[in-house]
Structure 1
Amino acid sequence: MIIGVADTTFARANMGAFAIDELKRHTSARIVRVTVPGVKDLPVAAKKLIEEEKCDIVMALGMPGGKDQDKVCAHEASQGIMMAQLMTNRHIIEVFVHEDEAKNDAELAWLLEQRTREHAVNVVLMLTRPQEMTKLSGTGQRQGFADAGPARK
């Protein structure tokens, strides 16, 4: 089993290191990491990890800025990630933390780490225990901030 981790230099925390640390806590899978400048570079990085490094799944980690143009770039990156998934028939778990999701730097730092770590656990579950993911269906899980919980009548 091989897990790819693609992260960016634009992010304001070392999301790749958080992911690798968490992955190592939950699996002995080989981990291959690549770092690119920004979120729009993640689709090809993830595709290359799958095709050239034979990764079974990839985490695409990035932190789009808070300006309108950054949101457009994040959307375009997401589209590319979806295309790469369809082209390779492999999951690429997009882990984006938008800079304007946090009220201050401390909260941003916390969110960058927390969301990355929670998605790393999702990656391990998807690869090794998919039935565990099924048990979480409809439970309002959120990565980073508190879970929303299921809707109630």
Structure 2
Amino acid sequence: MRRIGICDTTFARYDMASAAIDELKMHAPDLKIIRRTVPGVKDLPVACKKLIEEEGCEIVMAFGMPGPDEKDKVCAHEASTGLIQAQLMTNTHIIEVFVHEDEESNPKDLKILAENRAREHAQNVIKMLFKPEKLTREAGMGMREGKPDVGPL
């Protein structure tokens, strides 16, 4: 059974992990999904690495919702750098799914963005695992997770 790791934070204002899990189960009901929750985005890299090394996950999704302040942006950058390092250390994909609070000014729009981004990245994980040729066909198409696609040039 294929094992997928899901890691999210208590700092986030929306439960993106549950949306992604729902999407994953719709498209691949036989997946074994292992979820871990940590306090904030800077805690994601080690939690994701543990899901890979200790739980045998072959891909992990990392969910975070950095705040709008400058310190939040710095923390998000540090977390992203840590996630990249964890990928390189484990030779395993960690799909970073961050929604920055200042991407939308209206809380309802932010919630919609978070839901859509989580689900669309879960669909990407399904493609990576089961239909990699579909991702190749989508190369250069200007696709955006959570927002309207911009299309190719």
Shorter-chain TM-score: what band? over 0.9
**Which position in structure 1 is the counterpart of 2:140?**
138
CA deviations over 1:70-95 (Å, ceiling 9, x no partner):
10000000000000000000000000
**Candidates 128, 131, 139, aligned match of 1:129:** 131
**Which position in structure 2 is the counterpart of 1:67?**
69
**Partner of 1:147: helix, strand, or coil?**
coil
1-structure distance, mates of 2:105, 2:77: 22
1-structure distance, mates of 2:143, 2:40: 27
TM-fit CA distance, 1:134: 0.3
2-structure distance, mates of 1:41, 1:71: 15
TM-fit CA distance, 1:16: 1.2
1-structure distance, mates of 2:8, 2:57: 15
TM-fit CA distance, 1:31: 0.4
TM-fit CA distance, 1:105: 0.4
Q: How does 1:29-108 map to 2 (within 5 A)?
A: 29-108=31-110
Could you tell me which runs of 5 or more consecutive residues in structure 2 were left unpaired when the two chains were aligned.
none
Between the aligned residues of both structures, percent identity stands at 62
**Which position in structure 1 is the counterpart of 2:21?**
20
* RMSD over equivalenced CA pairs, Å: 0.5
TM-fit CA distance, 1:103: 1.8
CA deviations over 1:30-58 (Å, ceiling 9, x no partner):
10000001110000010000000000000
TM-fit CA distance, 1:15: 1.1
1-structure distance, mates of 2:49, 2:27: 24
2-structure distance, mates of 1:12, 1:112: 9
TM-fit CA distance, 1:133: 0.5
Could you tell me which runs of 5 or more consecutive residues in structure 1 were left unpaired when the two chains were aligned.
none
The TM-score, its normalising length taken from structure 2, stands at: 0.97
TM-fit CA distance, 1:149: 0.5
AA at the equivalent of 1:141: M
TM-fit CA distance, 1:6: 0.2
TM-fit CA distance, 1:19: 1.0
**Which position in structure 1 is the counterpart of 2:6?**
5
